[in-house]
Amino acid sequence: MPAILQTQTGWSHPLDQTSDSPSLPSDFRICKLCCQPSGVPTFTLGANHLYRCHDCDFHYLDRLDPPPDDITVTLTELQQRYIDKRLNDNARILTSRLNLVREFSDLTGQHCLDIGAGVGQFLLMLADGGAVCQGIEPSSLRREFARQRFGLKLSWQLAEEPFWFEQHDSFDLITLWDVLEHVNAPVATLQAAFALLKPGGLLFVETDNRDTISYRLSTWVYRLTRGGSALLLPNFYRQVPYGHKQIFRPAQLYTLAVRCGFELVAATPPSTEITQIKTPGYRPAGQTVMIARKPV
């Protein structure tokens, strides 16, 4: 069995469709990125509003997921088939992500944390490469699938919670694949990743890119039609449990990482200060990818 530490922790993505929890109370005028009281509801998307911060131009939805808990669920046959299909769909991109990690890190003996581990596929790949791994996944359905199919016990507590305080400065590598757009508190998530990494440890982030033509065109059409058409905006912010709650512009993500204490190593898209990622075969469309290091 690969070396995967069995603990208990949290994140996810839209699969828990049995839940229709309402938004948690919050003052969404306070920007989720810069923390200034400059958020204004700018786009109406169904029952929710997409806020725009007048200070930093961050976009975020007025919806939060309830905290995850350690509940036991029973997977239906339909849910199992759905996840099984996604296993095959995810194989190629997970392999390219593994190649990216290997370009910057020798996995042998490395202590790795996958935040938003899904059903544990990437954890298994890391472990097969010689790493000692832990994973965070708040979706009870995914945790149960990981337990049944792969014998994994993924954690449900979020990375910023006290459960993890004893493991600060202990990880060589942390991954957040398609996670930051889903979490309630993206700043707290990156701050927690910084605290959990050893000095010199690496952080790998992949998240949706708000600078894509489809996103920009959708906001332009919404304004032009005075809300009559949102084009693809509802697809960017699906209003389901663990759906997207915010989407970063690349510059916003890079600035936040530096604010949290990280040194930027490489990124796609690059900037004048950041090296372009050139891993063969790794070309995630419509995504921002960032590799950062905790200073020694």
Condensed to tens digits (0 to 9), the pLDDT of residues 178-204 reads 999 999 999 999 999 999 999 999 999
Q: What is the DSSP string of the chain?
A: ---B---------TT-TT--PPPPP--TTS-TTT--S-EEEEEEETTEEEEEETTT--EEES--PPPP--------HHHHHHHHHHHHHHHHHHHHHHHHHHHH---TT-EEEEET-TTSHHHHHHHHTT-EEEEE---HHHHHHHHHHH----B-S-TTSGGGGGGTT-EEEEEEES-TTTSS-HHHHHHHHHHHEEEEEEEEEEEEBTTSHHHHHHHHHHHHTTTS--TTHHHHT--STT---EEB-HHHHHHHHHHTTPEEEEEES-BTTBEEP--TT---TTEEEEEEE---
> Looking at residue 3, what is its pLDDT?
52
Nearest-angstrom CA–CA distance, 173 and 135: 12
Percentage of the chain beyond pLDDT 70 is 92
Please name the residues in contact with 19: beta carbons below 8 A apart, sequence gap of 6 or more.
241
Task: Name which residue leads in pLDDT, 276 or 25.
Answer: 276
Q: Domain-by-domain residue ranges, the chain?
A: 65-209+248-293
What superfamily in CATH does domain 65-209+248-293 come from? Vaccinia Virus protein VP39 (3.40.50.150)
pTM reported for the whole predicted model: 0.90
Please name the residues in contact with 76: beta carbons below 8 A apart, sequence gap of 6 or more.
none
Q: In the predicted model, what is the mean pLDDT of the chain? A: 90
At 25-48, the pLDDT tens digits run 579 999 999 999 999 999 999 999
At 199-255, the pLDDT tens digits run 999 999 999 999 999 999 999 999 999 999 999 999 999 888 899 999 999 999 999
